């Protein structure tokens, strides 16, 4: 099965984070992920959507599928045109925060998902892609 975009959402405000969670849950259920997996996907979506809104100044979330007939994946891509991250390695570290948060969003969503890619350029923006395989 070729990669397929299921839905694109705008992330501008806190209420969009609620919708991002709802849509992530919808597709996780649709793809018949287990309850534990659904919860992991939704929680990662919540973290990354909040980062997009709070740190990236807003952006988009794309929900897509990937995989073959035997294994399928749910993929979430978060993109913003914000300030970007100066030191990605540092940002990934547990406990690092520039906003008084817990500093667990990036590292946590990496652990909740199977694949985690981050591409951030200072002054240009950030893109995070996470994938969960069935």
Partner 1 sequence: MSKLAEIFEKYQADIITDWIKEMSAANRRKDLMSESELKLQTNELLHAITDASKNGNSSDINAPHWAPVREMITSISSSRAKQGFTPTETASFVFSLKQPISNRIRKEFGKDPDALFEELSASNFLIDNLGLYSADAYVKTREQIIVRQQEEMLELSTPVVKLWDGILALPLIGTLDSARTQVVMESLLRTIVETNSQIAIIDITGVPTVDTKVAQHLLKTVTAARLMGAECIISGIRPQIAQTIVHLGINLTDIITKSKMSDAFALALQRTGKTVVKRMQPLIPSTNSGAVS
Ligand X SMILES: Nc1ncnc2c1ncn2[C@@H]1O[C@H](COP(=O)(O)OP(=O)(O)OP(=O)(O)O)[C@@H](O)[C@H]1O
Binding positions for partner 1, rule: CB under 8 A: 14-15, 17-18, 21, 25, 35-36, 38-40, 42-43, 46-47, 50, 94, 101-102, 104-105, 107-108, 111-112
Q: Helix, strand, coil proportions of the chain in percent (round to 5)?
A: 35, 30, 30
**Binding of residue 16 to ligand X (CB under 6 A):** no
Q: Which is nearer to Mg ion, 82 or 105 (CB)?
A: 105
The H or E element spanning position 91 is: helix 88-92
**For tokens 């609620």, what's the residue?**
18
Q: Please report, for residues 94, 102, 112, the alpha-carbon distance to residue 108 in angstroms, rounded to integers and kept in the order given.
A: 8, 10, 6
**Binding of residue 129 to ligand X (CB under 6 A):** no
Distance of closest approach, residue 19 Cβ to Mg ion, in angstroms: 18
Tokens of 37: 């997996």
Q: Which stretch binds Mg ion (CB under 5 A): 11-19, 83-91, 101-109, 115-123?
A: 101-109
**Binding of residue 55 to ligand X (CB under 6 A):** yes
Q: Which is nearer to ligand X, 26 or 101 (CB)?
A: 101
Q: Please report, for residues 13, 34, 54, 55, 97, the alpha-carbon distance to residue 100 in angstroms, rounded to integers and kept in the order given.
A: 19, 33, 12, 12, 6
Among 45, 105, 112, 130, binds ligand X (CB under 6 A): 105
């Amino acid at each position: 099965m070729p990669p397929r975009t299921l839905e694109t959402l705008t992330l501008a405000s806190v209420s969009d984070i609620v919708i991002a969670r709802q849509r992530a849950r919808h597709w996780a259920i649709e793809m018949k992920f287990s309850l534990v997996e659904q919860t992991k996907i939704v929680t990662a979506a919540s973290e990354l959507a909040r980062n997009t809104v709070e740190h990236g100044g807003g952006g988009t979330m794309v929900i897509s599928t990937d995989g073959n007939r035997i294994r399928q994946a749910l993929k979430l891509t978060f993109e913003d045109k914000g300030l970007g991250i100066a030191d990605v390695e540092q940002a990934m570290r547990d406990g690092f925060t520039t906003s008084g948060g817990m500093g667990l969003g990036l590292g946590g969503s990496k652990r909740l998902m199977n694949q985690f890619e981050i591409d951030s350029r200072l002054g240009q923006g950030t893109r995070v892609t996470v994938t969960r395989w069935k």
